């Protein structure tokens, strides 16, 4: 720490520090800056400026040397990230390579990461479904984890707050399991999906629903979003490259430029956070210690309040590495539960098939979303031999294919005049709730370090019997629904993928009412260090089934306002 005197302590002091620039860090910073708080945002990776740093965004298919495929050498060196569906030739530069950031898999876990300004908000699947009280009340009703210290009514106004700014398209479906929000016009389901919807109504009454999934894409109210420099989604479906229109929500296109415009934000990329500094005298956190990614030099920054938004598992890592004589086992970890009760979403299973009807129809254009089944299992009461349930993705489509038989001029003419319409393709995948358990944990490896001298994270997370039963039930139920709707050639799969590939890892720093059994209170403050807020996936007490990013955004906005209100007391 020889370089601490290069800049005066005053120059390195802010009112707030936000660790992480992904979806939740972006929101924390935006709210703090809007409220007049001088904020420093720390990001471990390089800067990625909206549009300027999207090198592939307007490339045409023939401009990719391998037409989108990832070369074999890269795959072999990076088996984990190569399993991610979005790791393609056009987005390789936004993913963490296995070789650069090793971690320890005590049990197989595919940890997918994006180390750059904007984090994984550049790469996410942009699905944004609200939680309801059927989700928040889950642990208390079914007797697992601990009771959430908040309910839907606490979060509802913040869902509205973030939806309006981020831009969420959706239909007002009126379902108690999936509350409606502040929606831009929704995307329509296609003729086959609507037919399936009717079949569900016919065979299951009002018990099961399939809707057009709400997504964070601008589909209306263009003037409002022009204030952020964003424009309508163009249905390109090239989102993982970064969108030059800002058509989907990311920190890069939305919250970070907005916060910078207030003049209150200082963005510091290349800052690998080492730890949060705890001031024993004052009994609170006083700042953050970083290692410069390029020079490897340590530097300290100071602030009254710290927001930890490093992404679920890295937020755990930072707290565990933040030791002091008051907190020898990690910051705020009085009960020894830090890093425990990690959970995720079970994406193992899928069902697909074909539909021979509606053969006179096809689709044109593009859309950034598809169908969604809100959870229908064990919603109102326990009805199966496993706890909780699953949501499911759903989509149908029909393409025209060329006939690739033959050779020579015959082949050439059929390639140039594709006219073979196959049957409708129908597909679904499960998104299962997993039950947080003490035995699913992350910890610091006692020996292994990374290039910056940080301890490597050891991950020990696996499926349990409840997950197995849920996979079986999903496959049975979805097959039954497909059959009843007249879908044929039904194929089921359970790919036994490792946890992590869902990219919905959560927990380890869970919220709760009781400091003995949780790390965070109802406002996301560490019970023992209230000027540290954790508002990303690490704070999740249970996982439910919805894609979680929208909930993290609402958490971050709500907590930022709480922090400012507290500072004025």
Residues within the interface to other proteins (CB under 8 A): 58, 60-62, 65-67, 69-73, 187-191, 193-194, 234-238, 360-367, 404, 407-409, 411-413, 415-417, 421
Segment holding 256, helix H or strand E: helix 256-261
Shortest separation between residue 200's beta carbon and other proteins, angstroms: 17
Least distance from other proteins to the Cβ atom of residue 196, Å:
12
C-alpha 533/C-alpha 31 separation (Å) is: 14
Q: Which residue's CB is nearer to other proteins, number 241 or number 274?
A: 241
- Write down the least CB distance from residue 82 to other proteins, Å: 12
Contacts of 68 (CB under 8 A, 6+ apart): 61, 88, 89, 90
Q: Within its chain, how far is the Cα of 253 from the centroid?
A: 17
Minimum CB separation from other proteins for residue 185, in Å? Answer: 11
112 Cβ contact list (under 8 Å, min separation 6): 80, 81, 84, 95, 96, 120, 500, 501, 503
Min dist CB 73 to other proteins, Å, is 7
Q: Residue 520 and residue 538: Cα distance in Å, rounded?
A: 10
CB closer to other proteins out of 79 and 157: 79
Nearest to 376, CA basis, from 209, 213, 543, 492: 209
Residue 384 to residue 11: CA distance in whole angstroms: 59
Residue 440 beta carbon to other proteins: minimum distance, rounded to whole angstroms: 34
CB of 368 to other proteins, least distance (A): 9
Among residues 383, 380, 466, 483, the alpha carbon closest in space to that of 428 is found at 483
Could you tell me the smallest distance in angstroms from the CB atom of residue 409 to other proteins? 6
d(CA 3, CA 308) in angstroms, rounded, equals 25
Structure-block tokens of residue 155: 């979060």
Residue closer to other proteins (CB basis): 68 or 336: 68
Token look-up 């955004």 returns 553
Residue 2 or 60 with smaller CB distance to other proteins: 60
H/E stretch holding 376 reads none
Which CB contacts under 8 angstroms, 24+ apart, belong to 151-157? 152/179, 154/522, 154/558, 155/131, 155/551, 155/554, 155/555, 155/558
Please say whether the beta carbons of 421 and 362 come within 8 A. yes
Least CB distance to other proteins at residue 122 (A): 18
Q: Which is nearer to other proteins, 240 or 440 (CB)?
A: 240
Cα gap 134→433, rounded to integer Å = 13
Q: Rounded to an integer, what distance in angstroms lies between the CA atom of residue 341 and that of residue 326? A: 23
Measured between alpha carbons, how far is 551 from 537 in angstroms, rounded to an integer? 9
Q: How far is the CB of 70 from other proteins (least distance, A)?
A: 8
| C-beta closer to other proteins: residue 65 or 223 | 65
Q: Which is nearer to other proteins, 2 or 416 (CB)?
A: 416
**Closer to other proteins by Cβ: residue 170 or 287:** 170
Residue 257 or 371 having the CB closest to other proteins: 371
Report the residue number, 180 or 188, with the smaller CB distance to other proteins.
Answer: 188
- Do residues 151 and 133 touch, judged by C-beta distance below 8 A? yes
- Closest distance to other proteins from the beta carbon of 78 (Å): 15
CA–CA dist 313, 339 (Å, integer): 8
Quote the CA–CA distance of 136 and 551 in Å, as a whole number. Answer: 12
**Cβ proximity to other proteins, 99 vs 237, nearer residue:** 237
For residue 236, give both structure tokens: 């390109």
């Amino acid at each position: 720490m020889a370089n601490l005197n290069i800049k005066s302590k005053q120059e390195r002091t802010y009112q707030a520090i936000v660790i992480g620039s992904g979806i939740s860090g972006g929101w924390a910073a935006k709210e703090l800056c809007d409220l007049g708080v001088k904020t420093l945002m720390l990001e471990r990776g390089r800067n990625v400026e909206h549009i300027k740093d999207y090198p592939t965004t307007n490339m045409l298919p023939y401009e990719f040397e391998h037409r989108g495929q990832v070369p074999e050498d890269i795959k072999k060196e990076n088996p984990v990230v190569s399993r991610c569906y979005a790791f393609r030739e056009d987005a390789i530069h936004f993913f963490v390579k296995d070789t650069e950031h090793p971690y320890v898999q005590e049990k197989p876990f595919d940890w997918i990461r994006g180390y750059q300004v904007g984090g994984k908000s550049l790469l996410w699947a942009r699905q944004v479904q609200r939680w309801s009280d059927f989700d928040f009340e889950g642990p208390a009703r079914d007797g697992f984890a601990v009771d959430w210290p908040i309910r839907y009514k606490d979060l509802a106004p913040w869902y509205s707050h973030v939806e309006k700014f981020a831009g969420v398209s959706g239909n007002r479906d009126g379902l108690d399991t999936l509350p409606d929000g502040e929606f831009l016009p929704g995307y329509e389901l296609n003729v086959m999906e609507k037919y399936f919807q009717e079949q569900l109504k016919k065979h299951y009454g009002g018990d099961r629903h399939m809707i057009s999934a709400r997504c964070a894409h601008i589909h209306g109210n263009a003037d409002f979003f022009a204030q952020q420099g964003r424009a309508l989604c163009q249905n390109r479906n090239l989102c993982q490259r970064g969108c030059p229109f800002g058509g989907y929500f990311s920190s890069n296109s939305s919250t970070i430029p907005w916060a910078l415009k207030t003049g209150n934000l200082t963005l510091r990329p290349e800052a690998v956070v080492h730890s949060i500094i705890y001031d024993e005298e004052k009994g609170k956190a006083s700042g953050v210690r970083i290692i410069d990614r390029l020079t490897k030099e340590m530097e300290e920054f100071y602030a009254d309040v710290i927001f930890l938004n490093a992404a679920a598992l890295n937020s755990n890592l930072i707290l565990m590495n933040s030791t002091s004589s008051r907190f020898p086992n990690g910051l705020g970890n009085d009960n020894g539960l830090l890093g425990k009760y990690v959970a995720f979403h079970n994406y193992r299973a899928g069902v697909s098939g074909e539909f021979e009807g509606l053969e006179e129809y096809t689709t044109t254009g593009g859309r950034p979303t598809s169908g969604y089944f809100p959870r229908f299992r064990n919603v109102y009461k326990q009805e199966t031999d496993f706890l909780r349930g699953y949501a499911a993705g759903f989509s149908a489509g029909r393409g025209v294919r060329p006939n690739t038989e033959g050779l020579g001029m015959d082949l050439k003419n059929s390639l140039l005049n594709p006219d073979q319409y196959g049957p409708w393709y129908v597909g679904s995948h499960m998104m299962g709730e997993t039950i947080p358990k003490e035995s699913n944990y992350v910890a610091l490896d006692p020996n292994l370090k990374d290039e910056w001298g940080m301890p490597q994270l050891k991950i020990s997370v696996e499926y349990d019997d409840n997950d197995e039963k849920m996979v079986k039930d999903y496959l049975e139920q979805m097959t039954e629904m497909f059959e009843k709707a007249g879908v044929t050639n039904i194929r089921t799969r359970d790919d036994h993928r490792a946890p992590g590939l869902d990219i919905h890892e959560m927990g380890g720093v869970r919220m709760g009412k009781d400091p003995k059994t949780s790390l965070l209170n109802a406002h996301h403050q560490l019970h023992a260090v209230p000027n540290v807020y954790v508002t990303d996936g690490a704070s999740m007490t249970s996982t439910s089934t919805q894609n979680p990013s929208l909930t993290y955004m609402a958490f971050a906005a709500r907590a930022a306002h709480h922090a400012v209100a507290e500072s004025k007391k």
